[in-house]
Structure 1
Amino acid sequence: MQHIELDIPFAPRISPDLETARARNLEWLTSTGLLTSAENQARYLGWNLADLAARFYPDAVGDDLVLGVQGQSFFFFFDDLFDGHLGTDPVSTYAICHEMAALAHRSPDSRLVQPTFPLAHVWLDHWTRAQEGMSDAWKARTARHWAEYFLSYAAEAVNRKSGTVLDVDGYLRLRRHAIGAQPVLDTTERCGHFEAPAALHESTCMRQLRDLTCEVVILANDLSSLEKDEANGEPNNIILLLLREHHYKLGEAIDAVQEMTRQRISRFQLLSLEVGRLCRALELPLRERESAARFVEANRVCMRGNYDWGRATGRYDRTGVQYVRESPRIEDRVSVV
């Protein structure tokens, strides 16, 4: 479904350091043992995750972009853990996700919580690097978003095991955490070496703005991943939900997703103006107003970058689906060290 058009009226942007970051990311994945064969390396490169990170973080270069690419790699390897039997085992899924959430909330020098499986070690190294130079407010907010991301997989496993099929509103509420866009937006600040004011981040306006970004990413991804979700027996995809809930034909469901996207973009545009008004009301200095504007732009970049990547990646084609089903390294990523 990668050819479906969505109206996301923001200019595409991409980091000029893409190719260097791609090469360094492949070296890193090989050194960590996440990629162990030429075949899986080729499949991974077909996903174009370095391209996705370069679109999410277009101002980042060097180590900053490499950090962003590492984060994107983790998202997809972690997500693949739950496409097999593990995704229907709530007890095992909760144990993994509870550990990951605890790691997110521990201090960088703490030894009280230690990772017990290889992929957790990989993420903790990334998370430790991501916190360098960031404020306590950023660390707390980003840890919260990571924990919500991890624990959403436990909720999804319960739904699969129980046969629960969500309605559209319930699905979007859950997927706002599971899609991973919140940590991506936080990482924009880390890779760009700026922070929007903490008070602004906690405002209703900014929270709504971020939620809209997440939902636009969800809608675009569900269009792209429909074949993958059907192959894995995953009923909770926005297209499949609309087919069941409203008895749409496929074309009608696609039209509905396009309209849902337009509505969310329109609301986002209005809220972005509200951010400027809030900055004036809070009497923020110029530097903080500029950081707020950069963060609003990061949301635009996230929506557009995800959409452009989704139309070109091999992640959701037949080869990408086959990798999810057959990857020999899935169990190794959750085995106890």
Structure 2
Amino acid sequence: MHTHASRPHTRRTALLRRAALFDFPASTDLSPGTEAARHHTIQWLSRFGVFEDRASVAEYDALRFDVLAGLFYPRASGAELDLGNDLVGWYFVFDDQFDGELGCRPEAVARLVAAVVRITEEDEEHGRAGSGDGPLLESFRDLWRRINSGRPRVWRDRFRHHWLEYLHSYHREALERTGTLPRAGGEDGTGGEAGAPRSVEAVLALRRHSIGVQPCLDLNEPFGGYTLPPALHGGFPLARMREATDDVVVFTNDIASLDKELAVGDVHNSVIVQWERAGGELEDAVRHIADLANARYRWFEETAARLPALLTEAGADPDTHQAVARYVDGMRYVMTGNLGWSLRTARYDERGTEAVSGGRQRPWAQLTGAQEPVRAGRGAALPPLSGGSRPR
């Protein structure tokens, strides 16, 4: 494995330099409801006992996931944006569970994933409530019910399918970390470390699910007041445009989080995989991945420009034209919003890297193994939030 030293005061400069390699914009189009959503989600997560104390709240708040949601859904506000921000916040709390020991225990990951999947199978009207499952699962149960309530069956089935793909990706990642993922013929074909992703293409195939973009895109439909028919949603070119959106977000995230993931030794990063395979300098790998992101984004925009004519040829009515245009905007918001947030959050700067270096985990990162101490903190008074982010 290559080694890479980066002094904390140089990391911000490195991030900005790497971000300049992207040809697409970093969005600043923020929903006016972002600040209200920020307060709402911290209150919501705190109500379920996700945070142990004020310091945990402050550390979470510094990451400004509300900005990510506000950039993803710039035309949403009120309860809709609150819901979108709850989804984004829960994603990251859940993701942080796997940065430590749990992420290297495939059987334990499978049990946790199965527990979350079971909640998606509960009857919306008569599912369990107050079951004592702990902060992570109880907050998900509440989130799942609110997201699905009143939605058309075709949309709920689509959303659940994307959610299950996301959840099961964590088990596959754990298998790869431990070298226990079965491979055809027993060979990985890379000459690299056992358990490491075989290629950029292989890590991308997994990360398209683990990045969690598809459920976020799904929310654009209820937020916009439309539901795409399955043939349109799953056909060309929208299905391929969604995949391109996944890829752009994955590549952007892998470049933005590079120093953080080098610090913790995570191999599920396309830049690190490219560096391992091609050798040379780390920044050569960064440029290669940025070029891939730019190519995907150019293809997306070229295809978006052709869509109105394609829909007209297919005999689409004006409502369909409008729904597709809104959906395409939603994909674009996710790509450019993710880059915009990456440049503003403390998750990927020197504070974020230091926060997970030396074996340290986030305060909310052990909700599956230390639920009782966290649950004891429920009902505590919440600290007021300042006007800006408050780093740890």
Q: TM-score, normalised by structure 1?
A: 0.93
More moved, 168-177 vs 33-42: 33-42
Structure 2 counterpart SS, 1:79: helix
- State the partner residue of 2:104: 88
Match in the other structure for 1:220? 252
Partner residue in 2 for 1:165: 196
Instruction: Report the secondary structure of 2:367's partner residue.
Output: helix
Within 2, Cα distance between the matches of 1:112 and 1:126? 14
Alignment correspondent of 1:65: 81
List aligned pairs for 1:115-194, cutoff 5 A: 116-162=133-179, 163-166=194-197, 167-194=199-226
Cα gap change, 1:11/1:74 in structure 2, threshold over 3 Å: closer, same or farther?
Answer: closer
In structure 1, what is the Cα distance between the partners aligned to 2:113 and 2:32? 35
Q: Which moved more, 1:101-110 or 1:52-61?
A: 101-110
What SS does the aligned partner of 1:331 have? coil
Q: Encode CA deviations 1:47-104: one digit per residue, 9 max, x unaligned.
A: 0100110000111111111101101110100000000000000000011112223433
- Partners of 2:282 and 2:353 lie apart in 1 by 21
Q: Quick one: distance in 1 between partners of 2:221 and 2:354?
A: 35
Q: Deviations over 1:300-322 (max 9, x none)?
A: 01000000000110012333244
Query: What secondary structure sits across from 1:47 in the alignment?
Result: coil
Partner of 1:8: 24
Instruction: Work out the CA distance in 1 between the residues paired with 2:118 and 2:46.
Output: 27
Distance in 2, matches of 1:11 and 1:224, equals 15
Q: Tell me which residue corresponds to 2:367.
A: 332
Which whole-Å CA distance do the structure 2 matches of 1:51 and 1:329 have between them?
A: 20
SS in 1 for 2:268: coil
Is contact 2:252–2:290 with CA below 8 Å preserved after alignment?
no
Name the SS of the counterpart of 1:204 in structure 2. coil
Q: Is the 8 A contact 2:106 2:174 kept in 1?
A: yes
Alpha carbons of 1:287 and 1:41: their partners in 2 closer, same or farther (altered >3 Å)?
same
Q: Which amino acid aligns with 1:2?
A: L
Q: Name the SS of the counterpart of 1:129 in structure 2.
A: helix
Aligned length: 337
- Looking at structure 1, the residues matched to 273 and 364 of structure 2 have their Cα atoms a distance apart, in angstroms, of 31
Tell me the distance in 2 between the aligned counterparts of 1:334 and 1:134. Answer: 34
Please state how far the C-alpha of 1:199 moved relative to its aligned partner.
2.1
Which deviates more from structure 2 when the two are superposed, residues 163-172 or residues 49-58?
163-172
| Contact 2:224 2:326 (C-alpha < 8 Å) held by counterparts | no
Distance in 1 of aligned mates of 2:47 and 2:227: 32
Q: Which amino acid aligns with 1:87?
A: G
Equivalent pair of 1:196/1:291 in contact (CA under 8 Å): yes
Contact 2:100 2:361 in 1 (8 A): no
Q: 1:277 to 1:164 in 2, by over 3 A?
A: farther
Q: Distance in 2 between matches of 1:115 and 1:173?
A: 36
Higher RCO (C-alpha 8 Å, min separation 6): 2
For residues 165-192 of structure 1, give each alpha carbon's deviation from its aligned partner in whole angstroms, at most 9, with x where no partner exists: 1110010000000000111101222333
Distance, in Å, in 2 between the alignment partners of 1:292 and 1:306 is: 21
* Contact 1:104–1:147 (8 Å) recurs in 2: no
Is the 1:117–1:335 contact (alpha carbons within 8 Å) kept by the matching residues of 2? no
Residues 161 and 50 of structure 1, relative CA distance in 2, 3 Å threshold: same
Partner Cα separation in structure 2 for residue 234 and residue 298 of structure 1: 30
* Residue range with higher mean Cα deviation, 79-88 or 226-235: 226-235
Counterpart CA distance in 2 for 1:11 and 1:50 is 14
Contact 2:260-2:348 at 8 Å conserved across structures: yes
Is 1:230 equivalent to 2:230 in the alignment? no
When the two chains are superposed, the root-mean-square deviation of aligned CA atoms in Å is 2.2
SS in 2 for 1:96: helix
- 1:181–1:214 CA contact under 8 A, matched in 2: yes
Query: After the TM superposition, which of the residue ranges 317-326 and 214-223 deviates more from structure 2?
Result: 317-326
Identical aligned residues as a percent: 30
Match of 1:319 in 2: 351
One-letter code aligned to 1:44? Y
User: Structure 2: which 5+ residue stretches go unaligned?
Assistant: 1-13, 180-193, 373-392
Name the CA shift for 1:248/1:104 in 2 (closer, same or farther; >3 Å). farther
Alignment-mate amino acid for residue 327 of structure 1: R
How far apart are the structure 2 equivalents of 1:317 and 1:205?
Answer: 36
Matched AA of 1:78: F
Q: CA deviation at 1:127?
A: 1.5
Larger Cα-atom Rg: 2
Contact 2:26 2:339 in 1 (8 A): no
Please tell me whether residue 36 in structure 1 is matched to residue 71 in structure 2.
Answer: no
Distance (Å, rounded) in 1 between the aligned partners of 2:306 and 2:251: 24
Q: Which amino acid aligns with 1:294?
A: R
Indicate the residue corresponding to 2:332 in structure 1. 300
The answer to whether residue 30 in structure 2 is matched with residue 17 in structure 1 is no
Q: Give yes or no for contact 2:211–2:246 (8 Å, CA) kept in 1.
A: yes
